[in-house]
């Protein structure tokens, strides 16, 4: 099985530890992973701002780089949602697109749906709040949504539950948006920050020591608020917990 590792552009530049942890999680499970070094951005920031032409160019580039892998795995729900939900507009009918679309997975989703590990060889003796990032949550279906009347499940909780000594807290609003929203975080910066503070406070009142999630972008936004307001909580990408680090 050839797995192409896709590391979101900003994670490559700013979060080498979470990125490396993603690689380790996969390698610890005995998987062979390649990281194509000419990769850059999936085009999501452009697409979410309406710049279809620019997003299309990057989508074509992405397809060329990743189409020959059996699976593409990324530590981000929103970048994967971009490929699966929004690439069709740019790539429908292109050679290899159907395969790319159906074989690109978010890390936890890949573990849950494809690899199905029974043990992670990791311990994390902390109270953890799960931030259900919207694109992973509602586009990829990582967990049941509070809006819908369907059986409850959470792929994130199931995989994180394989980590020893971890304790989950219960939030008042289990799947409310943190307000990052891509370019929304600067085009509606006041709203973005207000939503972020509310999300952090929910985790704080639930007694969480650590907020974790599958999207570094949401965590980066909330960590920015935590650092500014000096709040007694920290964020950690889920890969870092699963890799048995920190």
Q: Under rule CB under 8 A, which residues in 153-172 are in contact with other proteins? A: none
Residue closer to other proteins by CB (options 41, 162) is 41
Residue among 147, 165, 170, 232 that touches other proteins (CB under 8 A): 147
Q: Is residue 228 a contact point for other proteins (CB under 8 A)?
A: yes
Q: Distance between CA 229 and CA 213 in Å, rounded?
A: 21
Q: Distance between CA 46 and CA 152 in Å, rounded?
A: 34
Number of shown-chain residues binding other proteins (CB under 8 A): 72
Whole-number minimum distance, CB 10 to other proteins, in Å? 9
Q: Is residue 96 a contact point for other proteins (CB under 8 A)?
A: no
Residue closer to other proteins by CB (options 3, 166) is 3
Residue closer to other proteins by CB (options 15, 124) is 15
Could you tell me if 241 and 122 are in contact, meaning their C-beta atoms sit under 8 angstroms apart? yes
Residue among 3, 4, 6, 7 that touches other proteins (CB under 8 A): 7
The footprint of other proteins on residues 23-62 (CB under 8 A) is: 23, 35, 37-41, 43, 45-52, 54, 57-58, 61
Q: Distance between CA 91 and CA 18 in Å, rounded?
A: 30
Whole-number minimum distance, CB 30 to other proteins, in Å? 17
Q: Is residue 77 a contact point for other proteins (CB under 8 A)?
A: no
Kindly tell me the sign of the dihedral angle through the C-alpha atoms of 41, 44, 50, 56: positive
Whole-number minimum distance, CB 118 to other proteins, in Å? 28
Dihedrals phi, psi of 4, to nearest 5 degrees: -95, 125
Q: Distance between CA 104 and CA 76 in Å, rounded?
A: 11
The candidate with the shortest Cα–Cα distance to 83, out of 137, 92, 176, is 92
Residue closer to other proteins by CB (options 166, 240) is 240
Residue closer to other proteins by CB (options 58, 166) is 58
CB atoms within 10 A of CB 207: 12
Residue closer to other proteins by CB (options 12, 127) is 12
Could you tell me if 201 and 229 are in contact, meaning their C-beta atoms sit under 8 angstroms apart? no
Could you tell me if 142 and 217 are in contact, meaning their C-beta atoms sit under 8 angstroms apart? no
Draw the binding track, 176-205, toward other proteins (x: CB under 8 A; -: no contact). xx-xxxxxxxxxxxxxxxxxx-x-------
10-23 exposure pattern, b = at least 16 Cβ within 10 A, e = fewer = ebbeebebbbebbb
Residue among 118, 119, 149, 170 that touches other proteins (CB under 8 A): 149
């Amino acid at each position: 099985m050839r797995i192409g590792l896709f590391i979101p552009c900003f994670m490559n530049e700013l979060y080498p530890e979470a990125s490396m942890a993603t690689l380790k999680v996969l390698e610890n499970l005995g998987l062979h992973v390649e990281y194509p070094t000419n990769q850059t951005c999936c085009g999501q920031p452009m697409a979410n701002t309406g710049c279809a032409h620019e997003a299309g160019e990057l989508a074509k580039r992405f397809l060329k780089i990743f189409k020959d892998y059996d699976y593409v795995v990324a530590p981000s729900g929103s970048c994967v949602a971009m490929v699966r939900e929004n690439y069709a507009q740019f790539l429908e009918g292109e050679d290899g697109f159907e395969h790319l679309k159906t074989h690109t997975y978010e890390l936890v989703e890949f573990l849950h749906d494809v690899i199905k590990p029974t043990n992670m060889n990791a311990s994390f003796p902390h109270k953890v709040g799960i931030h259900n990032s919207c694109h992973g949550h509602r586009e990829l279906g990582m967990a049941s949504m509070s809006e819908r009347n369907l059986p409850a499940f959470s792929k994130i909780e199931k995989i994180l539950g394989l980590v020893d000594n971890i304790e989950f807290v219960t939030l008042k609003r289990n799947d409310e948006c943190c307000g990052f929203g891509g370019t929304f975080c600067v085009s509606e910066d006041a709203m973005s920050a207000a939503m972020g503070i509310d999300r952090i406070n929910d985790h704080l009142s639930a007694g969480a020591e650590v907020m974790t999630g599958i999207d570094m972008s949401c965590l980066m936004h909330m960590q920015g608020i935590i650092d500014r307001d000096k709040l007694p909580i920290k964020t950690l990408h889920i890969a870092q917990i699963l890799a048995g680090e920190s």
